[in-house]
Amino acid sequence: MPTRVIMLNGGSSSGKSTLARRLQDLLPEAWLTLGTDTLVDALPGRLRSSHTDGAAGAAGADGTDGIGIADSGEVVTGEEFRRLDEAWARGVAAIVRAGVPVVVDEVFLGGPRSQARWRAALAGTDVLWVGVRCDPEVAAAREAARGDRVGGMARLQAELVHRGVEYDLEVDSGKGTPEDCAAAVAGRVTR
């Protein structure tokens, strides 16, 4: 069975988005790139918060919980976000089942629980599970250079998102170029 999903998991500023774009250039078929940022951007503003107190998450006007980032860089999610995130995974799986291959740019904040959620949604499809690693200091420097992230998020997530997660392949975007990392991943995609 050909690979239909490339699941890239890594912390903020680890190089996943750049890797996904390079993969689109390398792979012969048209692959969509979808990810957690796509979902967050699609949320109504009331479910997104730039900063929280780190305890409650982003509370919407209607009392539902969304997603927020604490001043420390910790991402906090509420019940409504988790419901939408579950539906998002099933929706991405539906795109794959409709015949379109997808590179998923994801951040497994829940470690193995996050992977299990995606495994359930993607059951019956061939998934290449890729860990995108990056030294916390390198990720933090990228985060600072970007200027669009809360400081500390990259350092916090650099190792956290990989704990207990099983991969078919791991790449280190802090040591390899985006082209090298993409070539390694593309080489593992089955036709």
Residue 111: Cβ-neighbour burial (10 angstroms; 0-12, 13-18, 19+): middle
Phi and psi at residue 108, to the nearest 5° = -80, 75
Enter the tokens of residue 50: 């730039």
Yes or no: say if 144 and 151 are a contact pair by the CB < 8 Å rule: yes
- The catalytic site residues sit at 37
Q: If you write DSSP's letter for every residue of 20-59 in order, what string do you get?
A: HHHHHHHSSS--EEEEHHHHHHHS-GGGEEEEE-SSS--B
Q: Which token pair is 111?
A: 């470690």
Write out the two tokens for 186. 């593309």
Strand extents, DSSP E, the chain: 5-9, 32-35, 48-52, 67-70, 75-77, 102-106, 127-133, 169-172
